[in-house]
Copies of this chain bind each other. A is one copy, B any other.
Amino acid sequence: MSDIAPTGTPGEVDHLVRWNDQGLVTAIAQEQATGEVLMVAWANREALATTLASGKATYWSRSRRKLWTKGEESGFFQRVLEVRADCDGDALLYLVEAPGPACHQLRRSCFSHRIDRDGSVHTDRPVIA
- Seen from chain A, the residues whose Cβ lies within 8 Å of a Cβ on chain B are 1, 3-14, 16, 26, 28, 30, 34-37, 39-40, 48-49, 52-53, 55, 82-93, 103-105, 107, 110-123, 126
CB contacts (< 8 Å) of A40 on chain B: these are 26, 28, 86, 90-91
For the complex, give the distance between the alpha carbons of A86 and B104 in Å. Answer: 11
Of all chain B residues, the one with the shortest Cβ separation from A84 is B111
- Interface pair A113/B85, CB less than 8 Å apart: yes
- Interface pair B34/A121, CB less than 8 Å apart: no
CB contacts (< 8 Å) of A123 on chain B: these are 3-6
For the complex, give the distance between the alpha carbons of A91 and B107 in Å. Answer: 16
- Interface pair A36/B35, CB less than 8 Å apart: yes
